[in-house]
Amino acid sequence: MEIFLVYLKVFAVGGALCALGQLLINKTKMSSARILVSFMLLGVLLEITGAFDYIREFANAGVTVPITGFGSTLAKGALEGAKEDGLFGAVTGGLKAASAGLASVIFFGFVFALIFRSRSKKI
Amino acid sequence: MIAKDAYKRYVEENSPKSPMWRSMIAAFVVGGLICMAGQGVHDGIAAIFPQMAEEEVGAWTTVVMILFGAFFTAVGVYDKLGHFAGGGSIIPITGFANSVVSPAMEYNREGIFFGICAKMFVIAGPIIVLGIVASVLVGIIGLFL
């Protein structure tokens, strides 16, 4: 029963973020790159104000799977790096924390683009 | 023959009701389901490797979700989902993977170097650049906290 509630909260918060993104698309005709950047920066903002931890405790993947999670990872890594290694950590911390996501998106992007041909002509 | 304004009324009554709400509900449902899938991946990894640190589980979850996003883009499913779900397929990390894989595949006929490698950042470039710039600024602010 408890696990059901966890997944319900994930669904509600994740869905709400995506609906908010759709509202922005409908109202402002923003491109997907701008939407992604806005939500990533929202994640950075939530992380440095400390609000992200509270939302994550409540919503788990509902807030970490959306691109807000990527922004939060970058900001959290930078803050931890600054605390542990000074200026060097401040500069490297963000990329270090986000490296799993960045490395895998570039690696899979390269490999799948080599193997698969675009199907956009058929649509 | 029907009058002009009667026809106008007829069109208004029969055109799809409020695409605004329909698109937001589609985004909510699809985005919520993708996030639930992410939670499932997270819980699965945590169950298989109970001694793994929480941060590492989170990082692996991101990697697996990106793999899903890249794969479903490659087989042509994700872009079709995007037509229906809009923000629901863009905002999750799978949408970030889609924004890399989709142009990379689109331009692979222009070669590996300037096709795949250069064009894969057409949409993701601003996200990566601004994300890194923001993280360095945040880190420098963090030095004074």
> Over 70: is that where the pLDDT of B29 sits?
yes
Does the global pTM surpass 0.95? Answer: no
CB A48 within 8 A of CB B70: no
| Residues of B with Cβ-Cβ distance to A24 under 8 angstroms | 87
Q: Rounded to the nearest 5 degrees, what angle is found at the Cα of A70, between the Cα atoms of A67 and A75?
A: 135
Q: Report the amino acid identity of residue B116.
A: I
Mean pLDDT of B112-127: 93
Among chain A residues, CA nearest to B19: A26
Q: How far apart are CA A49 and CA A43, in angstroms?
A: 10
Q: What is the pLDDT of residue B144?
A: 92
Mean pLDDT of B32-44: 97
- Per-residue pLDDT band for A30 (boundaries 50, 70, 90) equals confident
Name the CA radius of gyration of chain A, rounded. Answer: 17
Among chain B residues, CA nearest to A26: B20
Candidate from A109-118, B26-35, B42-51 with smallest mean pLDDT: A109-118
- Per-residue pLDDT band for B7 (boundaries 50, 70, 90) equals confident
CA dihedral for A94, A98, A100, A105, sign (positive or negative): negative
Mean pLDDT of B18-32: 91
Q: What is the largest CA-CA distance in chain A?
A: 53
Q: How far apart are CA B113 and CA B10, in angstroms?
A: 55
Q: How far apart are CA B79 and CA B86, in angstroms?
A: 10
Q: How far apart are CA B65 and CA A101, in angstroms?
A: 9
DSSP state, residue B17: S
Whether B108 and A113 lie within 8 Å, measured CB to CB: yes
CB A93 within 8 A of CB A82: yes
Q: What is the pLDDT of residue B21?
A: 87
Candidate from A26-40, A56-70, A100-114 with smallest mean pLDDT: A26-40
Candidate from A51-60, B15-24, B25-34 with smallest mean pLDDT: B15-24
Whether A21 and B91 lie within 8 Å, measured CB to CB: yes
| Residues of A with Cβ-Cβ distance to B139 under 8 angstroms | 78-79, 81-82, 89-91, 93-94
Mean pLDDT of A57-84: 96
Q: Select from B41, B57, B90 the residue whose CB has the most chain A CBs within 10 Å, as the one to mutate to test that interface.
A: B90
Percentage of chain A exceeding pLDDT 90 = 86
